[in-house]
Chain A
Amino acid sequence: MIARLLPYPLLALTIFLVWATITNAESAGLLLLGALLAVMLPLITRPFWPEAPRLARPGLALRFLGVFSADIVLANLRVARQVIGPLHRLSPALVEVPLDLRDPFVATLLASVVSLTPGTVAIDVDQQRWTLLVHALDSPDRAALIAEIKTRYEAPLKEIFGC
C-alpha cells in the first residue's frame, strides 16, 4: 500500500522539503499542501522517472554528507591557496577514473560530488566503458587522485545505494 502510494519516497521527501523551505514552513496548512504535493507529483510523473536505486543505508548517507561538506571547505582552502600562488607550479591533468558502480543515477551523483569538491571537475561519464573523465587543477600524482575519488566518494556511494 505504502509502496503503491509512494513509489519514490526520496523524491517525495525532496519535494516536501523544497516546498517547506520555499514557503518558509509558515503554517500547518502550507505544510499539509506540501505533503499533498509530495504524494501527488511522483504519482502523476511516474512514467517519466527512471528506476532509481533505493537508499539502502540512510545512516551512512548522512555521514557521507558530513565528510563531503568538510571536504568542500578543506579543498576550497587548498584551491584558494593555489589560485593566488605561483601558477607554474600547478600541474593540471585529465584523468580517467575506472568505475566499479554500474548505475546511471549513482554515477551522476558521483560526478556531481567530484565537480562540487573544488580542484576537480567531472567532464564525462562514459557508460560504455564505465569511466569518469575528471579534470584536476593540480594533480602531480594521478594514481593518488584516482584512489582518492574511488575510496572517498565512490565506495561510500556504492554502499549507500546498495549497488
Chain B
Amino acid sequence: MNPVSEALVAVLIVVGALFVLLGAIGLARLPDFLTRLHGPTKATTLGVGTILLASAIFFSQTAETGLSLHELAILFFLFITAPISAHLLAKAALHRRPPAGEIHPAAGPELAPESSTQDAKTRGKDTGGADTVGPPAPGRCSGGAGAEL
C-alpha cells in the first residue's frame, strides 16, 4: 500500500469515527425523542459512509482478489433501510406520545407535547392554509401507512 492511499484511509476512518461520535453525542444531549432521532440518522449516512469507503480502499489495495466492492453493497442497504427505521420510530413516537418528562425526566421543556400541539396549530398558516389542521392524531398518521413500500 502506498503512502498516499494509507493517509487517505487514515483520514477517512478518523473523519468517519468523528461523525459517529457526534451522532452519539447528539443522541445523548438532545432533549426529546424526535430531536434525538436526528443523531443516529447522521451517524449512518456520513460516518459509516466514510468508514466503509476507507475499508473499500484498504482492501482494494491489499487483498489479492483485486477490487473490494462489498462496502458499496453495505452502503446501499444502509441508505435504503436507515430512513425506513427512522420513519417507523418517529411514527411510533407520534402514536404514543408520552406525558412530558416521562422518557427523560432531566430534559428541558424544549419540545414537550404541549409545544408540539402548538406547532400543529400554527402549521396551517405555514403551509399556506391546509384544509384540516390539528394535532397529528393517531388516525391521521395511519392514513399514509402505504408509503413504506
In-complex Cβ contact of A137 among B38, B66, B70, B149 (8 A): B38
In-complex Cβ contact of A97 among B49, B86, B127, B148 (8 A): B127
Q: Does A129 contact B (CB under 8 A)?
A: yes
Q: Report yes or no: B30 in contact with A87, Cβ–Cβ below 8 A.
A: yes
Q: Smallest distance from the beta carbon of A144 to chain B beta carbons, Å? A: 10
Interface positions, chain A 13-37, Cβ under 8 Å from B, are 18, 20-22, 24-26
Binds A, one of B4-12, B75-83, B98-106: B75-83
Q: Report yes or no: B148 in contact with A115, Cβ–Cβ below 8 A.
A: no
Q: Smallest distance from the beta carbon of B86 to chain A beta carbons, Å? A: 5
Chain B residues whose C-beta falls within 8 Å of the C-beta of A84 in the assembled complex: 22, 25
Chain A residues whose C-beta falls within 8 Å of the C-beta of B17 in the assembled complex: none
Chain A residues whose C-beta falls within 8 Å of the C-beta of B69 in the assembled complex: 20-22, 24-25
Over the window 84-107 of chain A, the binary record of Cβ atoms lying under 8 Å from chain B Cβ atoms (1 yes, 0 no) is 100110101111111000001001
Q: Smallest distance from the beta carbon of B54 to chain A beta carbons, Å? A: 16
Q: Smallest distance from the beta carbon of A154 to chain B beta carbons, Å? A: 14
Contact sample, A vs B, 14 pairs, CB 8 Å cutoff: A21-B70, A24-B68, A26-B66, A83-B22, A83-B25, A88-B108, A96-B130, A98-B128, A104-B147, A118-B41, A121-B87, A129-B131, A131-B127, A142-B126
